[in-house]
């Protein structure tokens, strides 16, 4: 039901480095939470676990999908954050959507998050941070079934088998159905709308390992819904289906001083949006589809090598190439059969070479690297990374970190052509520069991290509404350069039967204007996201293990007020009972029965959007085999 101390507080992470390192050692600001421990706090979904991390906020958007804010930086679909399944990027080529519904939680061992760019190891989309899903590698075989409010049903399994001590086969399945809760939408014009917020998902994950060779495939389909803006007072109900098929192949060659990895992955990832305008009886019935679907893909191939030059110095180099492609995105009127192209078919290639030197001298560690990225549409960008780590003693370290993230516009941002939302073919790539100063203290019973950061953005790609005398258009623009700074605390502690988690984050520029205003010209746009960024966020979780069978836990997540939305406190309570190879649990979610809402950072049309149900529950059973 929980992890031993050495695993909990000396957890190794890989999201910020080319090898396994503890959090005090790794040259980045990283948080890592095991799903087993989060479950005891009543956090049993990937979205809940991410929302518990310092500096991270999870919102819903008008499009029904989930937005991830890391230090207040976000995008309607997720372009600012890089999402990894182990070390494989997983995001949609047309609009950079990331999948938060497509994974069995039983497949996930732990979740690692970098706050800030990961420019050398990773390329596009790593400007605000990196989320890495680390899958299980052991034979902790389980079947799990949970039932909950709104007729929620979730069945999962994880199975791993080693054959002849050489071949390892892993299988994980998920099936989730949910009738959804009533979501309340309020537009800035005063129009309101109720809409069921459904979430359903299916996924299959298969992995095969033989020595240093690995191949895995991940297929998923998820459905959710939202509400779109139409001209005038109308709103359109949207039901989205995301589909993805990923295959990844890699092989390692290792010697005493060198490890070389070659890899290739191919990911078809697209969506379909059936829409129904049921407001005021307008009766518009349409769907947005890609044709052909299989032309929406990302194909990435690369090779890396880490060479131990001396006992104190290592050199890491790599090269990578990626092709991104989309087919025509069509909106089809089901009544008339009329078709219009929302995004025209297109493709782009991105090539990169990267490297870094990692040198240790006494208590000091110095890391310097850079990534040179050449995009076929936007030319070349060089993004550096510099890190200094000073080990005060065996338990304490100081880190001074600097990194730059590069983000090329996606096809949606440049080529969208819809009635109230258009792309901008003249967009430039954005750069986000981040400086961190962090202090870490770790021992056998606790982990404490405190850091301050300063961020500057150049040519930040922002979705904005521009008003003039003739029209009101939702488009994409390069906002003016701006700066932010803030601070974060992360504390984990265990004593006797108690395990505790505390974190706090502060973003100085948050809620700068309190109310989002519509600029009259593009030059007026700087940091509109500051209005939707909470100044303070905090999380606390505690669990108590009565004995080998009974455990009780609770979590509190606080989000400060922003734009026109008041502060929000979410409380979950969990009770678990273990007997032999089985575990029974009951989780109460949003115990305070709060109306959970967030501002509209996608279209700036709605005052408030629903982000979760009020008081609801989950009951479940897990069986090991």
Q: DSSP E strands: which ranges in 278-311?
A: 284-291, 297-308
What number is the average pLDDT over the span 208-235? 83
Residue 1: per-residue pLDDT: 43
Residue 522: per-residue pLDDT: 46
Q: Can you list the alpha helix ranges (DSSP code H) found in 156-242?
A: none
Mean pLDDT lowest among 328-342, 405-419, 524-538: 524-538
Residue 5: per-residue pLDDT: 45
Q: Is residue 292 reached through a cis peptide bond, with omega within 30 degrees of 0 on the bond before it?
A: yes
Residue 229: per-residue pLDDT: 62
Residue 521: per-residue pLDDT: 45
pLDDT beyond 90 at 274: no
Give the pLDDT confidence of 4-26 residue by residue, as tens digits: 544 545 668 887 788 888 888 88
pLDDT beyond 80 at 154: yes
The pLDDT > 90 percentage for the chain reads 63
Looking at per-residue pLDDT, the higher value among 177 and 607 belongs to 177
pLDDT band at 126 (very low <50, low <70, confident <90, very high): confident
Quote the pTM value. Answer: 0.93
Give the pLDDT confidence of 240-265 residue by residue, as tens digits: 899 999 999 999 999 999 999 999 99
Residue 291: per-residue pLDDT: 93
175, 102 Cβ separation under 8 angstroms: no
CB neighbours of residue 577 within 10 Å? 14
pLDDT band at 472 (very low <50, low <70, confident <90, very high): low
Residue 102: per-residue pLDDT: 85
Residue 231: per-residue pLDDT: 54
pLDDT beyond 70 at 467: no
State the Cα–Cα distance between residues 48 and 44, nearest whole angstrom: 7
Residue 478: per-residue pLDDT: 86
Antiparallel, parallel or unpaired: β 284-291 and 235-254: unpaired
Domain residue extents for the chain: 5-624
CB neighbours of residue 366 within 10 Å? 16
| Strongest mean pLDDT among 6-15, 229-238, 447-456, 523-532 | 447-456
pLDDT beyond 70 at 282: no
305-307-308 Cα angle (round to 5): 155
Mean pLDDT lowest among 46-55, 263-272, 479-488: 479-488
Instruction: Find the radius of gyration of the CA atoms of the chain.
Output: 24
Residue 386: per-residue pLDDT: 94
Residue 481: per-residue pLDDT: 79
414 φ/ψ angles, rounded to the nearest 5 degrees: -100, -30
69, 533 Cβ separation under 8 angstroms: yes
84, 131 Cβ separation under 8 angstroms: yes
What number is the average pLDDT over the span 529-556? 94
Mean pLDDT lowest among 33-37, 262-266, 272-276, 289-293: 272-276
252, 260 Cβ separation under 8 angstroms: yes
Q: What are the structure tokens assigned to 119, written together?
A: 């420019």
Q: What are the structure tokens assigned to 217, written together?
A: 């495939």
Tell me the CATH number for domain 5-624. Answer: 2.40.170.20
DSSP type of residue 600: -
pLDDT beyond 50 at 223: yes
Residue 119: per-residue pLDDT: 66
482, 460 Cβ separation under 8 angstroms: yes
What number is the average pLDDT over the span 140-162? 95
State the Cα–Cα distance between residues 64 and 610, nearest whole angstrom: 10
CB neighbours of residue 336 within 10 Å? 8
The pLDDT > 70 percentage for the chain reads 91
Q: Is 100 helix (H, G, I), strand (E, B) or coil?
A: coil
pLDDT beyond 60 at 337: yes
Dihedral of the CA atoms 31, 556, 63, 103 (nearest 10)?
50
Give the pLDDT confidence of 375-394 residue by residue, as tens digits: 999 999 999 999 999 999 98
State the Cα–Cα distance between residues 381 and 374, nearest whole angstrom: 6
Share the mean pLDDT of the chain. Answer: 88
pLDDT band at 273 (very low <50, low <70, confident <90, very high): confident
What number is the average pLDDT over the span 25-37? 91
pLDDT beyond 80 at 159: yes
431, 383 Cβ separation under 8 angstroms: yes
582-143-209 Cα angle (round to 5): 120
Mean pLDDT lowest among 198-202, 514-518, 519-523: 519-523
């Amino acid at each position: 039901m929980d992890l031993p101390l050495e695993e909990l507080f000396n957890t190794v992470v890989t999201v910020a480095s080319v090898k396994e390192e503890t959090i005090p050692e790794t040259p980045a600001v990283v948080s890592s939470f095991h799903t087993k421990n989060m479950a005891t706090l009543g956090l049993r979904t990937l979205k809940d676990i991410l929302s518990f991390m310092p500096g991270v906020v999870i919102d819903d958007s008008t499009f029904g999908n989930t937005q991830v804010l890391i230090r207040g930086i976000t995008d309607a679909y997720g372009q600012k954050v890089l999402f990894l399944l182990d070390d494989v990027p997983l995001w949609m080529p047309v609009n950079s959507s990331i999948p938060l519904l497509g994974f069995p939680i039983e497949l996930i061992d732990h979740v690692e998050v970098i706050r800030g760019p990961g420019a050398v190891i990773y390329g596009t989309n790593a400007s605000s941070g990196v989320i890495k899903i680390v899958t299980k590698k052991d034979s902790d075989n389980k079947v799990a079934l949970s039932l909950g409010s709104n007729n929620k049903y979730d069945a999962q399994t994880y199975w791993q088998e080693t054959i002849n001590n050489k071949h390892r086969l892993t299988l994980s399945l998920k099936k989730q159905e949910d009738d959804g809760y009533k979501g309340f939408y309020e537009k800035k014009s005063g129009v309101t709308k109720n809409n069921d917020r459904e979430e359903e998902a299916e996924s299959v994950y298969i992995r095969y390992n033989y020595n240093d060779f690995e191949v895995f495939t991940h297929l998923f389909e998820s459905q959710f819904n939202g509400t779109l803006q139409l001209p005038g007072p109308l709103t359109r109900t949207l039901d989205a289906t995301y589909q993805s098929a990923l295959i990844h192949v890699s092989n390692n060659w290792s010697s005493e001083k060198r490890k070389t990895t070659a890899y290739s992955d191919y990911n078809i990832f697209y969506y379909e949006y059936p829409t129904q305008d049921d407001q005021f009886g307008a009766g518009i019935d349409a769907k947005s589809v890609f044709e052909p679907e299989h032309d929406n893909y990302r194909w990435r191939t690369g090779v890396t090598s880490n060479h131990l030059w001396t006992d104190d110095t290592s050199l890491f180099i790599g090269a990578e190439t990626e092709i991104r492609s989309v087919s025509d995105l069509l909106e089809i009127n089901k009544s008339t059969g009329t078709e219009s192209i929302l995004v025209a078919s297109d493709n782009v290639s991105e090539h990169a070479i990267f490297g870094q030197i990692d040198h240790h001298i006494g208590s000091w560690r110095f890391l310097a690297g850079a990534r040179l990225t050449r995009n076929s549409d936007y030319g070349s960008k060089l993004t550096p990374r510099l890190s200094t780590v000073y080990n005060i003693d065996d338990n304490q370290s100081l880190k001074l970190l600097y990194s730059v993230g590069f983000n090329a516009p996606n096809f949606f941002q440049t080529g969208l052509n819809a009635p109230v939302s258009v792309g901008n073919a003249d967009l430039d790539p954005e750069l986000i520069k981040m400086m961190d100063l962090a202090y870490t203290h770790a021992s056998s019973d606790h982990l404490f991290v405190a850091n301050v950061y300063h961020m500057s953005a150049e040519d930040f790609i922002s979705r904005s509404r521009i008003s003039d005398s003739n029209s009101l258009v939702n488009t994409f623009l390069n906002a003016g350069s701006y700066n932010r700074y803030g601070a974060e605390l992360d504390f984990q502690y265990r004593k006797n039967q108690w395990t505790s988690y505390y974190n706090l984050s502060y973003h100085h520029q948050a809620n700068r204007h309190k109310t989002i205003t519509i600029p009259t010209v593009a030059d007026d746009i700087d940091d509109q996201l500051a209005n939707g960024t909470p100044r303070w966020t905090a999380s606390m979780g505690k669990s108590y293990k009565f004995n080998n069978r009974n455990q009780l836990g609770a979590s509190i997540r606080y989000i400060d007020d922003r734009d026109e939305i008041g502060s929000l406190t979410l409380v979950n309570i969990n009770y678990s009972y273990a007997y032999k190879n089985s575990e029974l649990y009951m989780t109460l979610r949003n115990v305070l029965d709060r109306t959970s809402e967030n501002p509209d950072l996608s279209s700036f049309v709605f005052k408030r959007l629903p982000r979760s149900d009020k008081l609801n529950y989950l009951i479940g059973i897990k069986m090991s085999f």
